Amino acid sequence: MKLTITLDEAEVKILNKRAKKNLLSLKEQVEDIIRRSCIRSSKGTYKSYKGDDALVGIFSRDQRGRKKKKKKPKLINNLLTYII
């Protein structure tokens, strides 16, 4: 399959820099970007919020990314709880 894409000089420069960093040619880098995009889009669509109030669904966001690690309590706090 043949695909024609028109890019500005600035965009080509950015893609060349990214391709060099990944040890790829410009053509291989563009193919990789398109392949990754197709994989991501095939995973499914965004699940909408199913709540009671429509406004909550409109103005709320789902938590994304990694969950934050819980901080371990400091040793001093643990000792104080045992003393009290």
Q: Average pLDDT by consecutive 10-residue portion of the chain (84 residues)? A: 88 94 94 88 63 67 72 61 57
Residues in contact with 5: Cβ distance below 8 Å, sequence separation at least 6, in sequence order: 30
Note whether 28 and 19 are within 8 A (CB).
yes
Full-model pTM: 0.51
In a domain, 73, yes or no: no
In a domain, 27, yes or no: yes
Position 41 scores a pLDDT of 76
In a domain, 51, yes or no: no
Task: Find the domain containing 9 and state its range.
Answer: 1-42
Count of structural domains within the chain? 1
Tokens of 57: 């669904």
Tokens of 39: 């994989």
In a domain, 63, yes or no: no
In a domain, 78, yes or no: no
In a domain, 76, yes or no: no
In a domain, 14, yes or no: yes
Position 13 scores a pLDDT of 94
Q: Where are the alpha helices (DSSP H) in 1-84?
A: 9-21, 26-42, 54-59, 75-83
Position 45 scores a pLDDT of 58
Position 69 scores a pLDDT of 76
